[in-house]
Amino acid sequence: MPDCTAVKAGRVFTLTKWENRVSVMIPNNDIKKTVCTFLNRHIKNHEFQGDEAIFTSALFNSLFAMQLVLFLEKEYRIKVENEDLDLSNFNTLNAISAFVEQKASCDCHEH
Amino acid sequence: MNTNLSPDQREILVQFRALIDKIISPVADQWDREETIPFEVIQTLAQQGLWGINIPENMGGQAWDMMTLGRICEEIGRGSASLLSLFTVHGMVAQVLMKWGTHIQKETWLPKLAKGHVLGAFALTEPDIGSDARRVETTAVLSGDVYVLNGKKKWISCGQIAGLFLIVAQCDGKPSAFLVPKDTPGFSQEPIRDMLGFRSAMLASLCLENCPVPRDNMVGVIGTGFSHVAGTALDHGRYCIAWGSVGLAQACLEASVRYTHKRKQFGVYLKEHQLIQEMIANMVSGTKAARLLCCHAGYLKDAGDPDMIMETAVAKYFASQNAVKVALDAVQIHGANGCSGDYPVQRYLRDAKIMEIIEGSSQIQQILIAGHGYQVID
């Protein structure tokens, strides 16, 4: 499970501890910006829009799906699992952002 | 990146190296001729925990890190590329289940895979579909509570003896993945013989004729069979094959050094000839470079870094090419002896060629690596 208190410095987090429960809020715009930077490592000079389809575009190679999963897992200390494997979670910046927000919150509650 | 091994890692590797030298290397040529690996050997390796190396301890596995797993692949590849192939595809199925399996799928299969009670095999390739793997022609159609699978798979390593197959099929026109136990009605295996290399990897063709597979046997969801499930499997496969190629090259180097120590031509040992030294120097440096690329990929894997995927492709491409070059030189050094069944270098060369083809051919790796190069370099 992610260690919410050890998330890297420089990011904006709100941590609220009550008994053993921790909630984390990652600003939505921050996620989009960070994911966009990751996407631009693969596709240069392309301004990704929030609702632009990523997976159904021909921009990325066959390795990209797993690279994105690993990036999200490492960057946000979440675990993408079987029940998360809905392509609509990953197809746009908006969807990714919403997924990460929801996942980070859930994982930290479990933590 | 620290490439030094911890005391625990070193101990594990010393044990495996001794095991490979004792029960694998001396008989690998015989297995190659007989096109099989004896069941007792698979059982012995199961007792050593080999089949559960990458599986969590709570599922009966060893849960070793990826660097240790890679080094073990090197040792297996040094002894028998065919055995490495079995180990690779088994690990690919386990890796997919760990990452994308449901709770029930994990509970059902991982303990059996970890103990070697069931071997896994990965079935993507078909008679008419190789590198263009997204377009597999095997179909899965939902009918009541089961998916009905129809199609053919080919060149499936471990296909003759595996008990669990991870099959990629089109479902609603999208690649999807299914767990298919070998005793599923309508499922049959046919051995493939007379391959150039990997002759004891017990390859098979698979036939699926109206195979009813429970809905719960789908891994992932419809449409993720190639992007996520095969993506996970192939990344693991490339990693194992890259390390195995290092081991194969190391075997060529060791055989060549020993041979040039004892054989004389023109009144001196072969090792005194500078043209031989040139080949040995290239073998040493190429194999060290390949090992370092594999170490880098392993380091990134253990760190969960997304760059591990591209670096694994680079390592696989380089290490498999190096294995072919080194094996060619090993045969050259051995002369006519190297072309005979009296020395293992002829097997090394045949197996090295397969390393350039499986888990994504060198040409597919080149396309991916070049594309990545154009993206990251301004």
Q: What CATH number is attached to the domain comprising A17?
A: 1.10.1200.10
Q: How many Å lie between the alpha carbon of B353 and the closest alpha carbon of chain A? A: 24
Instruction: Provide, for chain B, the percentages of residues in helix, strand and coil under a 3-state DSSP scheme, each rounded to the nearest 5.
Output: 60, 15, 25
Inspect the interface and report whether the beta carbons of A70 and B235 lie closer than 8 Å. Answer: no
Work out the pLDDT band at A105, boundaries 50, 70, 90: confident
Mean residue pLDDT across chain A: 75
Q: Which residue in the set A55, A71, A82 is minimally distant from B102, CB to CB?
A: A82
Task: Give the number of A-B residue pairs with CB atoms closer than 8 Å.
Answer: 64
- Boundaries of every domain in chain B: 7-118, 121-224, 226-376
Query: Crossing angle for the helix pair B308-338 and B362-376, nearest 10 degrees?
Result: 140
The DSSP code for A63 is T
Rounded to the nearest 10 degrees, the angle between the axes of helix B81-100 and helix B345-355 is: 30
HSE toward the beta carbon, residue B278, CA cutoff 13 A? 4
Q: Which residues sit opposite B178 in a β-bridge?
A: B167, B218
Tell me the pLDDT of chain B averaged across its residues. Answer: 96
Q: What 3-state class would DSSP assign to B162?
A: coil
CA distance B314 to B328: 21
Q: How far apart, in Å, do the first and last CA atoms of chain B sit?
A: 26
Nearest CA in chain A to B106: A82
**Res A61: pLDDT:** 82
Query: Residue A55 is part of which domain span?
Result: 4-110
Contact between chains at A62 and B368 (C-beta distance less than 8 A)? yes
Question: Quick one: average pLDDT of B234-247?
Answer: 98
* Contact across the interface for A74 and B304, Cβ inside 8 Å: yes
Q: What pLDDT shows up at residue A27?
A: 65
pLDDT, position B345: 98
CATH of B121-224, one of 2.40.50.1070, 2.40.110.10, 2.40.30.30, 3.40.718.10: 2.40.110.10
Asked if B9 reaches chain A (Cβ–Cβ under 8 Å), the answer is no
Give residue for tokens 């984390």.
A24
Please indicate whether residue B126 is annotated as part of the active site: no
B57-116 pLDDT, tens digit per residue, is 999 999 999 999 999 999 999 999 999 999 999 999 999 999 999 999 999 999 999 999
What six digits make up the tokens of B366?
Answer: 């080149």
CATH of domain B226-376: 1.20.140.10
| DSSP at B249 | H
C-alpha distances (whole Å) from B143 to each of A10, B149, B179, B210, B376 are: 52, 10, 17, 11, 47
Look at the domain B7-118 and name its fold.
Butyryl-Coa Dehydrogenase, subunit A; domain 1 (1.10.540)
Residue A33 in contact with residue A100, Cβ under 8 Å?
no
Q: What predicted TM-score, i.e. pTM, was given to this entire model?
A: 0.93
From chain A, the residues in CB contact with B232 under 8 A are 66
d(CA B328, CA B249): 10
The pLDDT of B23-35, averaged and rounded, is: 98
Residues of chain A contacting residue B221, judged by C-beta atoms under 8 Å apart: 85-87
pLDDT of B17 strictly over 60 = yes
- Structure confidence at residue A54 (pLDDT): 85
Please give the average per-residue pLDDT across A84-102, as a whole number.
Answer: 92
Q: Which is more confidently placed, B122 or A7? A: B122
Chain B residues in contact with A91 (beta carbon < 8 A): none
| Min distance A64 CA to chain B CA atoms (Å) | 8
Please determine whether the domains at B121-224 and B226-376 fall in the same fold group of CATH.
no
Pairing between strand B268-269 and B264-265?
A: antiparallel
| A contacts of B224 (beta carbons < 8 Å) | 65, 85, 87
The tally of domains found in chain A comes to 1
